[in-house]
Chain A
Amino acid sequence: MYEKAFESTKLVTPGGASPANWTQMIFVTPWDAFFCANTWEWARVFRDGTKVAYGVPSGGYTPIPRVGGYAGFYSGNGRVYEAYEIDQLPNPNEVLNPDWAIPYALAPWTNVGAFLDDQNQRYLYQPNANSVRVYDLRTGAILGTITHNTGEYFKSLNWVQHGQVAGICSGSGKVKIMDYLFGLNVVEAGRIDPHRVAAYDSAFQVLVSIGVDNKTRVYCREARPYALSNPVFTPATIYGLKGNIVKVRLTGQEGEPCPGWWVHWELEGGWWSPGDGHGAPAQQFFPLGYLDKYVSKTDKDGYAWNLYFGPDDGETGRTMIRCSVVLS
């Protein structure tokens, strides 16, 4: 789960004659805001939930995210038109795919997002809920398939950076960041809360969604810690009078590493004697040996490292290492 940094108090309520739910949300770089569409209106939405409606959709124009953080418009004739920077209105004078008309069967629709890269001449379409197909925009040839096995269609495919798109599922909130240009693979997996529409904000590398409650939410691309593994010794055999390497791993809900978190280490007594009932007192056995550090930071793979020194007086017994992370 990505870390939620903001939730709006303002509501991005869809307008129009009979309110219809938001169907598209696209980050627009020159606006530093989002183009949002529903059946009745085109609007500019800011991260704090401010909405300004400025236009009315007409038939035949389906908004589609483009390379660089722009909107384009798929029209019924298979052509994708550019949008003007000032107002994101379709510019029917500029066809972005002059060589290959995208057939209607490969067109984007409300719940299955597509993506157009007119710089590198790629078109991304989802043939099923587990893969994204990459087409050559000049010829329509299939260049490859990214298998992501999410099990749900991405409602939107948004530009992240050169060669990368983020697929976002609205039902489950699953996010997959994929390389469509160099590797055709998933480079990062994450999750946000279920929502109505969402977009990748390529200005600050965050994800912004509009929820079913019409609130906007901002998620940083840093995994919120979800699980801390047990400490593991490498190698597994421990010796006294020696620094034994021990590590622990902090991960998010999808198993993704959480770098940069402080892990607190402590040694606990191995066992406790209740006494024998005939005069021997109850006693706590103190930890054996000691730790090199009492706090260490997770590295880029989510591991925090420490050294454990066994007892130097030949004492034997059991001791426990307890690790904890403070979520603040």
Chain B
Amino acid sequence: MSLWCLRTVAPCLEYIDNKSCYQGQGPPSGYNPQLLTCPTHYNQGNGKLSHFYYDPGADLLRAIIVYSTTYWPSWDVQRLDFSAETGEWVNRDKVLARQVFVGIWGSAWTGKSTMGSFNKLYACMNTGTQINEVDQFTLNPVSGGWSVDPYTWNPKSIFSAAVVNRIDNYLAGVSSWTLDCWKNLGTTPQRFAQLRLPNVLGYLAYESRNYCWIITKDGVICKVDYQIPRWEMISKVQNPGVSATDFAIAFDTRRKQIVVFRSRPDAADGACQHQLEFYYPMVSPARLTEPVPVTSLRAGERVILVAHLIGEAGEGVTPYTVNGELVEPVEGRLVTPFSGTEMNGRVCFQYQAPDQACEETLSLETTVEETI
């Protein structure tokens, strides 16, 4: 299992463009407008993601962005809505008109919220130890809403991100490196298992009563069964060459796909470079390794050659057929012209060497069809 990149929306948001580097339009007086082009000047910058979640009711991906601004009071917090289908920024005009102000407290007090049981939103407090049901707009704890305090549990715990399964009374939380799995939330909470993450957590997303997804600071994506618990798959964001400062992940429960928000530093001209990446969890080959002989290379002998068809994180992909062909000039014989991938992506080929010394080249190929 790995991830099929459906689409990338880059950049997925913009900053307010002032069109001019001072108040007013066009170049300042005293300058010849035909000789001078004003540099781009944005009123916002350093957009920092504080929450990213899928809202199943509205079928939207929502992101809370904290900006540094040129206008009073030097910061702004807006809630951006993206189409879960295309990634299009649907409330662009409103956000650029600064009409979706959600207040700072939802970003200061809580963080890394994710949808959980009953399609409600849950978040860990930054300023305390509780995990609360939070309001979808302000991201503040809902008064009278569901709340637990893992610091009162044994062992005492403080989480920075958590998924909440109120139906089965499970909770899985991360502070930095470890996913702690708790059960019996309704009575005496008990930590029954821990999973060590591949790297420091970037974001945690709820999928269902059994599964959740993690993304690390460096873009490794894992699916977890938090009730067993067990790692279900490991993969990675694609295009690792695109620089990133952080990653967030949300699970689209309607389309059963994951959406990654890749935070990137602003461009040299101040433009926003954050991007959305949509992935569908499925078999997706990324590369085919070279065939390697694993038996003695002797005249007249059968030689076994091994290659792997793998995904982004080295996970084997199956079922695929890999075809082998000897490149001219051919002196021996390829006994197996094709081989099916095993669970770990391995394919084996047998070559019958001739009775004299020779040099031979085996070329491998596989066909991958776009199925989405």
Partner of A87, one of B198, B291, B356: B198
CA distance A44 to B306 in the complex (A): 16
Q: Are A52 and B314 in contact (CB under 8 A)?
A: yes
Least CB separation from B233: chain A residue:
A86
Q: Are B196 and A89 in contact (CB under 8 A)?
A: yes
Say whether B96 faces chain A, with CB atoms less than 8 Å apart.
no
Q: Are B296 and A3 in contact (CB under 8 A)?
A: yes
Known: A5-B294, A84-B230, A204-B306. A55 touches B289 (CB 8 A): no
Q: Are A86 and B232 in contact (CB under 8 A)?
A: yes
CA distance A201 to B306 in the complex (A): 12
Q: Are A5 and B198 in contact (CB under 8 A)?
A: no
Q: Are A220 and B292 in contact (CB under 8 A)?
A: no
Known: A10-B290, A218-B293. A89 touches B197 (CB 8 A): yes
Q: Which residues of A contact B234 (CB under 8 A)?
A: 54, 86-87
Total count of chain B residues near the partner, CB < 8 A: 49
CB of A208, distance to nearest CB on chain B (Å): 9
The residues in B between 280 and 325 inclusive whose CB is less than 8 angstroms from any CB of A are 287, 289-299, 304, 306-308, 310, 312-316
Q: Are A33 and B308 in contact (CB under 8 A)?
A: yes
CA distance A6 to B303 in the complex (A): 12
Least CB separation from B358: chain A residue:
A328
Say whether A283 faces chain B, with CB atoms less than 8 Å apart.
no
The residues in A between 15 and 47 inclusive whose CB is less than 8 angstroms from any CB of B are 30-33, 42, 44, 46-47
Q: Which residues of B contact A49 (CB under 8 A)?
A: 290
Known: A52-B310, A328-B357. A3 touches B297 (CB 8 A): yes
Q: Are B296 and A30 in contact (CB under 8 A)?
A: no
Say whether A255 faces chain B, with CB atoms less than 8 Å apart.
no
CB of A155, distance to nearest CB on chain B (Å): 22
CB of A75, distance to nearest CB on chain B (Å): 10
Least CB separation from B197: chain A residue:
A89
Q: Are A220 and B294 in contact (CB under 8 A)?
A: yes
The residues in B between 332 and 357 inclusive whose CB is less than 8 angstroms from any CB of A are 342-346, 356-357
CA distance A206 to B305 in the complex (A): 12
CB of A1, distance to nearest CB on chain B (Å): 13
CA distance A44 to B316 in the complex (A): 11
Known: A84-B231, A87-B234. A54 touches B193 (CB 8 A): no
Say whether B147 faces chain A, with CB atoms less than 8 Å apart.
no
Segment touching B, from A90-98, A110-118, A236-244: A90-98
Least CB separation from A55: chain B residue:
B198
CB of A210, distance to nearest CB on chain B (Å): 14
Say whether B259 faces chain A, with CB atoms less than 8 Å apart.
no
Known: A5-B295, A86-B232, A89-B231. A54 touches B304 (CB 8 A): no
Q: Which residues of A contact B297 (CB under 8 A)?
A: 3, 5
Q: Which residues of B contact A47 (CB under 8 A)?
A: 289, 292, 294, 306
The residues in B between 225 and 239 inclusive whose CB is less than 8 angstroms from any CB of A are 229-234, 236
Say whether B220 faces chain A, with CB atoms less than 8 Å apart.
yes
Say whether A13 faces chain B, with CB atoms less than 8 Å apart.
no
Say whether A129 faces chain B, with CB atoms less than 8 Å apart.
no
Known: A32-B346, A44-B314, A52-B313. A89 touches B295 (CB 8 A): no
Say whether A58 faces chain B, with CB atoms less than 8 Å apart.
yes
Least CB separation from A29: chain B residue:
B344
CA distance A30 to B177 in the complex (A): 25
Q: Are B220 and A91 in contact (CB under 8 A)?
A: no
Identify the A interface with B (CB < 8 A). 3, 5-6, 8, 10, 30-33, 42, 44, 46-50, 52, 54-56, 58, 61, 84, 86-87, 89-93, 201, 204, 206, 218, 220, 222, 260, 328
- Nearest 3 CB-CB pairs, A to B? A55-B198, A52-B314, A44-B314
